[in-house]
Structure formats: structure tokens, C-alpha cells
Amino acid sequence: MDVNVFKLCSGLKVLGYLMILLVAGIITVSYYAVVVITWGPQLLRGGVHSLSAILMVIVFHILLGLLLWSYFRVVLKDPGSVPENWRPERLEENLEGGSCINESDFRAPENLGSTWSAPAGLDRGPHVGYCNHCQNGKPPRCHHCSVCQRCVLKMDHHCVWVVNCVGARNYKFFLLFLLYTFLETTMNTLVLLPGFIKFFDEAKNHSSSPGNLAVTFLAFVLNLAFALSLLCFIFMHASLLSSNTTSVEVYEKKGAARWKYDLGRKQNFEQVFGRKKALWFVPLFSKDDLDSIPALHGLDFPTRSDVEA
């Protein structure tokens, strides 16, 4: 009897919901340590101390707002699903034009694997696959997620932290979430560093509340750990973004002399963030970008003219 062991991966969804609670817990601890314990007393001192405290609290809340906005956009936004009975546009044009191509020519039997070749004589452009699990066509750069149990457009990876896949339509939001979380945790680490250094002296002399000491210590360790780990992720995704590559395409790219989707850093960036500069650092897209950049929808991607599709 055939057993699909990948169905067990769906259990990661439960873990994902717990991770959302963990994110909420970390934000709560950090907020209490930075705003209430560290900067709260400074607000009452007056003068330069109050001014600097007000400035830091404002920056903290701006970064926190952008972080949460980006996070919930990643969690709630569909990364991109393949339309039911999807077919390449050129196949549609041939069908509408009366060409002799049967629907069965497009649908692949289960024993053909995950790739499908267009009928002879049909110039289909980019590689088109077929998913045996979804019983549907696979657009270029599309991959099946074993956790979500569906195909995802321009899939980068399944992220347990957001209980969602990262794909064509929410990759920008994911990158902004990484960026703002890194900036927030780095700022928190620097703010809490003096309190962390004084932790043992204050604990020994009982000069501060044990509860506040514990919260400050915990918040510093958590923020430092996240800042360091996120720095690695930011560098990795910056490299992928600059070459228009997803995490799952890294191996495929190694076997190619030229990566066909690499159109240059500027165009690669615009395929993820759009062309409207005012919206680059907020988790939104302009209507003009959505209308003029097909890659943002995840079904069609331009390729280099010097690389055979």
C-alpha cells in the first residue's frame, strides 16, 4: 500500500500556531523591558533624559508597527495558488484559435512524474510542469508544498513562524518582516545592554525588583539571539533577491551557465518590491505595479534574452 509520508508534514501547522503565540510573547516581554522598565523612568526625569527617552520610544513604536504590519501581511496573504485547470497562455491561444489540441494532451497521467511536455509543435516558452498531487498544471517556478498540501507560485519556502508559505505574492512582506524585526531587536539589544551588564550587581545588592531584573535579562538574551540569526537570513535573502532566485531554485541555478530569470539587480528588485519607490518599505503594492509587473502575480516571469527558455 502506498503511503504519502509527506502528509505527516501537515502537523507542522499546529507548531506554526504555537510559534505565533511565541512571537506575541517575545514582543510582550521586549515591550515591557524596553518601554516600561528602561525608558519609562527616563520619561519622568525631565530635560535631555526625557527628550531622548521620547525619541527612542517613538522609534521603538514605529519599528514595532511596521514589524507587526509586515508580519500579519505574510501570515494572512495567500502566497499564490495555481488557478484550477490552469494552462499556459500559449496553449489557451492555440485552443481558442481552433488548433487540434485535446484537453488530454495537457493533463498528464500520474505515472509521468512531475514534468509535462507540451504537444509536438507547440512553442510553450518557459518550462511547464504538472503536479500529480494537485492534478493541475504547474506554472514556471511553482512548487508543491508538502505542509500546505498545494502548489505555491514562485515558492521560496514554508515558514513555520508565519504558518504560511512564502511565495510570489507575499515575498516582499516576508523580507520587510525580516528587516524590521532585525532593526527592532538590534535596537532593543543596545538599549538593554547596560541593564544586562548591571544584572549581577543589582541582583547581588537587591537594588532592583527581581522580577524586572529577570524580564530585562530574558529580553536582552532573546533580542540578541534573534538579531544575530536574522542578520544571517537577511544576507542570504539579499543575495537571492539580487539574482532573482528562490531558496528552492538554488540547486537548479548551480547547473545553469546563466540563470534565465536574472535580469539585473534593478529589475530583479522591482519584480519583488515593485517600481513605486514610496511603497518599497511598506507592505503594500501600487495598482500600477500590480497591473504592469506580471511577476508579482506569480504566473509569468520574463527571462534573459541570451538564455534559451
Which residues have a catalytic role annotated? 159
Q: Cβ distance 167 to 79 under 8 Å?
A: yes
Question: Taking a C-beta distance cutoff of 8 angstroms, is the pair 307, 258 a contact?
Answer: yes
CB atoms within 10 A of CB 152: 28
Cell of 54: 521620547
- Residue 176, burial from CB neighbour count under 10 angstroms (0-12, 13-18, 19+): buried
Nearest CA-CA partner of 170 in 9, 83, 247, 284: 284
DSSP secondary structure letters along 116-162: --PPTT----S--EEETTTTEEE-TT-EEETTTTEEETT--EEEGGG
Residue 234 Cα to chain centre, angstroms: 11
- CB 81, CB 168: distance < 8 Å: no
Phi–psi pair at 14, nearest 5 degrees: -65, -45
